[in-house]
Chains A and B, each alone.
Chain A
Amino acid sequence: MSLIIQDSGLFSIVQSLDKRSSPDGQEFKGACDRLAHQLANQLVGNKKDELTIEMTVKPAVIKFTEPTIIAFSGAEFTGRCNNQEVLPNRIYLFDRGDVLKFVDTPRGNRIYLAVAGGIEVEGSNILKSGDEVIMCRDYTFQHDELFNMLRNRNMVSWGVDTYSLVEIYISDLFHVVRRPDISDEVYDRLESAEFTVSKEKNRVSLYLEGKHLDTDRSKVTHPGIKGGVYIAAGEPVLALNDFDQPTTAEHIGTIPSYHMHKLSQKRRGSKVKFKVIDCDDAHANLYAQDLWVKSLFKAIDYRLSKELVKDKM
């Protein structure tokens, strides 16, 4: 039994947390929004690096063929199933024959759907309408308890509220780690402008328009690296996970990993501003976010175990 992708939406892919090689030619280049990927897994009691379904702009329509516990995180999409509203960052149990659809949102770009016990795919991990996603059913004791609890009511009464994640997602300001060979004038122009996302090459790059940026041509071939800020024809191009080819576009800095969650949620029309910082400041911010994420995940574990104990009493 499996999940059936009735409509694949705009772009849906089974995705890993980190980049990894696949002998079957599958493209596991890592979740664009690593926090949402991990959060969805954490909610359903999976390991944080279990595969999830990453869905962009218009999420897939998914049919369940057996009792299935899910959670989704990332953009503020709302789902509907059996006339029930299905919210992000909450835990739900769906039954055989249930169909989950999503309503478009004007905010955010990607959601990550995790399935308790894990999922896998045969063949391409880019999902097409009619494809099946295999349920691994690698259930733990905690999963069994969750199934028992959700038999009476198909959702957990709590979740991670939007305001908890505001600091991560609700800002248009992005840090850029400076390079020693780029002039202050270039960074001044970058910081003084507001840019608009003009298009996304899916999972590869975000194209911005706004102030024209002139840079000295170095004739250096730069590596394509996640978070890289490149200047092509005077406009910034921001590298996402699949931007892994060398480029002669001028590289002026790199967005740190702790701002890549919100970058991957920007869509056409989103505003983007930049602040140029040193690497040491980026590492201090990264460490602070890492501690915050660990405490959030501990709080989820605590809340879930409390709920399971309450249910037994």
Chain B
Amino acid sequence: MFFANGDHAVTYQQNEVIDPLVLKRLTNAFNTDTHQYLTEIITTENTLTFMYEPVRVMESHDTIEPSGLVVEEAERFLVEKGFLK
């Protein structure tokens, strides 16, 4: 499940515990890749939270509803890394 975690973050959450090695791999991949809007990843054993600067997204896309674009980018990242299908 993805949801808007306030106005600066989107969070992916699952009930099953995520393997710590997978969390480490995703964090390393996030920190080495470049991203359009995502600025930081915060992980727990059940969640992956992606931070972003909403005003930057709003001004780039001339929209006041930026979270859909950010969720798309986060999903794309997780699919590319083989975490989501």
Seen from chain A, the residues whose Cβ lies within 8 Å of a Cβ on chain B are 177, 179-181, 218-223, 225-228, 244, 246, 253-258, 279-280, 282-284, 286-287, 290
Contacts and interface: CB of A to CB of B under 8 A. Distances in A.
A309 B5 CA distance: 47
A287 B58 contact: yes
B41 to A, nearest CB: 10
B58 A283 contact: yes
A182 to B, nearest CB: 10
A258 B8 CA distance: 11
Interface size on B, as a range, is: 20 to 34
A227 B67 contact: no
Contacts of A227: 6
B27 interface: no
Given A220-B15, A223-B11, A225-B49, A287 B3 contact: no
A254 B1 contact: no
Contacts, number: 81
Interface string B40-68: 00111111010000110010000011110
B7 A279 contact: yes
B7 A286 contact: yes
B45 A246 contact: yes
Contacts of B9: 225, 254
Which of A257, A279, A282, A290 has the largest count of B CB atoms less than 10 A from its CB? A279
Nearest to B57: A283
A183 to B, nearest CB: 14
Interface string B7-22: 1110101010000000
Contacts of B7: 177, 254, 256-258, 279, 282-283, 286
A221 B55 CA distance: 29
Which 6 pairs show the lowest CB-CB distances between chains A and B?
A254-B6, A279-B4, A246-B44, A256-B7, A221-B44, A220-B46
15 contacts: A177-B5, A180-B3, A181-B3, A223-B47, A254-B5, A255-B6, A257-B6, A279-B4, A280-B64, A280-B67, A282-B6, A283-B65, A286-B7, A286-B55, A287-B58
A32 B18 CA distance: 32
A226 B49 CA distance: 12
Which of A219, A244, A255, A280 has the largest count of B CB atoms less than 10 A from its CB? A280
Nearest to A278: B4
Contacts of A177: 4-7
B44 A222 contact: yes
Nearest to B42: A223
Contacts of B55: 286-287, 290
B6 A222 contact: no
Given A220-B13, A258-B7, A283 B46 contact: no
B15 A218 contact: yes
B23 to A, nearest CB: 11
A280 B65 CA distance: 6
Given A223-B11, A256-B7, 7 more contacts: A221-B44, A222-B46, A226-B6, A228-B5, A244-B42, A246-B44, A286-B54
A221 B67 CA distance: 23
Given A177-B7, A283-B54, A223 B15 contact: no
